[in-house]
Structure 1
Amino acid sequence: MTRIIEVDAHRLEKWVDGFAARHDGVTSAVEPGRVLLVGGDGTRAVGETFEHERIGLVLVRRGGHAVGVDEGGELTSHKCGTRYVQSRTKAGGWSQQRYSRRRGNQADSVVTTVAELACKHLPPGRVDALVLGGDRKLAEQVLTDPRLAHLRDLERRTLWNLPDPRLSVLKDAARRARAVRLTLDDE
């Protein structure tokens, strides 16, 4: 069985001790950006770290958006907001097509708004890495803006399983960005 878990970096040592206790000891190898643990019972945990001083966050869903900068574990700059995007309708024919176009136009408006915020809060040289979260399609559309070309090549972590972005969600995403992401393989 394979599971993915996130462990805050400051808790990793204690988590490894618990892993060793649960799996008959542990053999470990820690390299920059990577953690490998093998328990005495054959259980493996492979982890990746995301160690950057300044992380940019771009979170977008149809119900909300958030852009921020996390420096050393502190959210130093952020902007959150909501935009209305109509939900799907069961009406058929011309009405369905009209509502679909309207929904598409409203989603495009959200992407434009988030791109503007990203230009303001994440100018070139401001961040070392990027976290994208929320709706994959919308978040990737934000990065197609030519003014954000400097963000496309940064090391990236994704958090697609987020609720509508609010300040609390942005803070949690910043915490999760710095966590060690471990893949556990139980034999």
Structure 2
Amino acid sequence: MTSRPAAGGGRWVSVGPERLGRWIDGFADRHGPLEAVASDEVVRIEAADGAVAECRVPFPPLTAGGGGPLARLTTHVRRERRVGVLLVRLGGHAAGIFQGDELVSSKVGSRQVHGRSAAGGWSQRRFARRREKQVDQAHEAAAEVALRILGPHTDGLEAVVLGGDRRAVDALRADRRLAPVFALETEPFLTVPDPRLAVLTATPAQFRAVRIRVVDPA
């Protein structure tokens, strides 16, 4: 479980699906009996002492069914899903398909992109043109990997999670071939280092977790 301050007050915690039931029980132990209401995207828990926990539903909408909001939420987050992941940073990229938390198909690659030059004049312009070409090649390589790994399987994916650097990911949106991939985009956007296989393999800990905004009683 991770924790960080939340904009507008409170703090964010991230809780894995297997731990969510225990986390809710602990919240009740600390703050008293709970009442919960649910929408498609948020389950709001209010405790007897005024503490609030707003649980963002991963892969919304919240699954319909019997039981109260908390039972529906715990069932929803534990369901095994087939999810695509696309990570792009300048010079590195990774795409994979997960069944639950198991990586079943993947491709990782990299392209060299030089940093910016401090030189001036003609040399700087030449370096800038060279770097721009390298950036374009890196984006094209990332797009090809996304098409190879995710493109043929979009009909069978429940969602696609993106991550890396937002500008690098956004640079791929203009590629019409990737429209079916981006049509499945869901939160959260994953902040990750250079996309290597170990980084890709570890992403379910982020995209399967429940993000909870906790506001303590005044």
Counterpart of 1:5 in structure 2 is 13
For the residue of structure 2 that corresponds to 1:91, the secondary structure is coil
Shift in alpha-carbon separation, 1:19–1:97, aligned structure 2, 3 A: farther
Residue 53 of structure 2 contacts residue 215 of structure 2 at CA under 8 Å; is this kept in 1? yes
For the residue of structure 2 that corresponds to 1:12, the secondary structure is helix
Kindly provide the CA deviation profile for residues 71-122 of structure 1, in whole angstroms up to 9, marking residues without a partner as x.
1221110111222111123223333333333222222212111111111111
Q: 1:31: how far off?
A: 5.4
Unpaired runs of 5+ residues, structure 2, are 1-8, 60-79
Question: In the aligned structure 1, how far is the partner of 2:46 from the partner of 2:126?
Answer: 56
Q: 1:8: how far off?
A: 0.9
Instruction: Find the partner of 2:112 among 72, 78, 84.
Output: 84
Counterpart of 1:167 in structure 2 is 197
Question: In the aligned structure 1, how far is the partner of 2:179 from the partner of 2:91?
Answer: 25
Question: In the aligned structure 1, how far is the partner of 2:10 from the partner of 2:23?
Answer: 18
Residue 134 of structure 1 contacts residue 163 of structure 1 at CA under 8 Å; is this kept in 2? yes
1:21 aligns with 2:29: yes
* TM alignment of 1:11-160, pairs within 5 A: 11-30=19-38, 33-51=41-59, 53-122=81-150, 123=152, 124-160=154-190
Question: In the aligned structure 1, how far is the partner of 2:201 from the partner of 2:25?
Answer: 28
Cα RMSD for the two superposed structures = 2.2
Unpaired runs of 5+ residues, structure 1, are none
- Higher RCO (CA-CA < 8 Å; seq separation 6+): 1
Question: In the aligned structure 1, how far is the partner of 2:191 from the partner of 2:89?
Answer: 11
Which is greater in Rg? Answer: 2
Shift in alpha-carbon separation, 1:128–1:95, aligned structure 2, 3 A: same
Kindly provide the CA deviation profile for residues 3-30 of structure 1, in whole angstroms up to 9, marking residues without a partner as x.
2222111110111122223334433335
Question: What TM-score, normalized to structure 2?
Answer: 0.76
Instruction: Find the partner of 2:212 among 174, 177, 182.
Output: 182
Residue 66 of structure 1 contacts residue 170 of structure 1 at CA under 8 Å; is this kept in 2? yes
Question: What TM-score, normalized to structure 1?
Answer: 0.87
Q: 1:34: how far off?
A: 3.1
Shift in alpha-carbon separation, 1:23–1:168, aligned structure 2, 3 A: farther
Question: In the aligned structure 1, how far is the partner of 2:206 from the partner of 2:167?
Answer: 21
Residue 91 of structure 2 contacts residue 138 of structure 2 at CA under 8 Å; is this kept in 1? no
Shift in alpha-carbon separation, 1:40–1:119, aligned structure 2, 3 A: same
Q: Which moved more, 1:44-53 or 1:114-123?
A: 44-53
Aligned-partner residue type, residue 14 of structure 1: R
Question: In the aligned structure 1, how far is the partner of 2:128 from the partner of 2:23?
Answer: 48
